[in-house]
Amino acid sequence: MNNKRSAGFSTTAVHAGEIRYNEYGSITTPIVQTSTFIFKNTREIQELALGAKNRFEYGRYGHPTQYAAERKLAALERAEDAVLFSSGMSAITTTLFALLNAGDHIIITDDAYKRTLDFCQTRLGKFDIDCTVVKMGDYGAIAAAVRKNTRVFFSESPTNPYLNIMDLERLMGIFRRRNMLVISDSTFATPYNQRPLEFGVHLVMHSATKYLGGHNDLLAGVVLGSKKYTVPIRDFLKTTGGVIDPHSSYLLIRGLKTFELRMRRHNENGLAVATFLESHPCVRRVYYPGLNSHPHHEVAQRQMTGFGGVVTFEVKDDVKYVHTFLSRLKILNIGPSLGGVESLITHPASISYYDYSRPQRLKLGIKDGLIRLAVGIENAEDIIADLAQALP
């Protein structure tokens, strides 16, 4: 009988990856704020050349605070390795450049983050890398899009803004025997609510700016998985230079220590607010995986432990009406991000897609009455009261 037990999620979030018993006796992992690391003697140079661990040379190649944050994230995701970047988009672009070559083909779902779609559709083509966009959840179309030169399938789950859920078991049934990589952006789920690697997904990504950092005070991205895939990505990062800085690494470590506590509150608040909005006469429709009305509720229940703090809903399809509603809010802040302790609300048509024509927006499902609410960790009754008094 094996009596060994794994540490709990919050214990892991607090202790994993930390630089324990450092030379200063600091319980907090130090911010090693330097661009260059010096050598005591030539023997240390030789040790570095031979691959010595915990020996650093130059900040762009990695630093101790970064590595501590990476170890913590890998432990939470139950991944062999994690590579941190200066932003979520840096994680995506660097990873795809590291894994794709001229002549390769990538498949991506249609409701991925707009900057990710733009990169795959318009930027990769300059490097002779072809891209096919398929409808999220259309598994027949996904299978049909595979070519002999398909190297990567990329998707998000849940997606932005409609919170569609990819059935990971069904997806991997398509790709398990194919010589290609499946990458999942799991920013909206977090490793607390869903771990795609456990379903066979090869690499998982997060914008650590969001729930992982949790306090709207840093930019970071991370890719996690087997070293078979992360090592070439880390090597490519050393060339492209999108390394996370020591202070942001420290802020991420600090934020992760309360990760489980925050996620529990986000999940509770998200469901409470979604339930309220679904019953409100001014709200036409609510999109939240925790509601029975969501088209992917059954899949979400099966593969997720919680549904997060993002609630998307529709009101009267009128921009003026929406702006009146937003202007009445007293607690909720208007802003485009998510995952922080403060609730943020955004009108995609006015903020994220302001540079799109109305027909372009509607083609992507971005209606004039669509609103995305990123519920924070305030008291749910206060968030609900603010929404109630603001809805025209």
- To the query of whether residue 60 is one of the catalytic residues in this protein, the response is yes
- To the query of whether residue 58 is one of the catalytic residues in this protein, the response is no
Indicate which residue of 55, 60, 114, 257 is catalytic.
Answer: 60
Indicate which residue of 104, 111, 185, 245 is catalytic.
Answer: 185
Indicate which residue of 113, 192, 211, 287 is catalytic.
Answer: 113
- To the query of whether residue 264 is one of the catalytic residues in this protein, the response is no
How buried is 293 (Cβ within 10 angstroms: 0-12 exposed, 13-18 middle, 19+ buried)? exposed
3-state secondary structure the chain: CCCCCCCCHHHHHHHCCCCCCCCCCCCCCCCCCCCECCCCCHHHHHHHHCCCCCCCCEHHHCCHHHHHHHHHHHHHHCCCEEEEECCHHHHHHHHHHHHCCCCCEEEEECCCCHHHHHHHHHHHHHHCCEEEEECCCCHHHHHHCCCCCEEEEEEECCCCCCCCCCCHHHHHHHHCCCCCEEEEECCCCHHHHCCHHHHCCCEEEEECCCCCCCCCCCCCEEEEECHHHHHHHHHHHHHHCCCCCHHHHHHHHHHHCCHHHHHHHHHHHHHHHHHHHHHCCCCCEEECCCCCCCCCHHHHHHHCCCCCCEEEEECCCCHHHHHHHHHHCCCCEECCCCCCCCCEEECCCCCCCCCCCHHHHHHCCCCCCEEEEECCCCCHHHHHHHHHHHCC
Give the span between the Cα atoms of 206 and 223, in whole angstroms. 7
Please identify which residue in the block is written with the tokens 């072809």: 130
- To the query of whether residue 185 is one of the catalytic residues in this protein, the response is yes
Q: Which two tokens stand for residue 54?
A: 């915990």
Indicate which residue of 210, 234, 262, 361 is catalytic.
Answer: 210
Please list the active-site residues: 60, 113, 185, 210
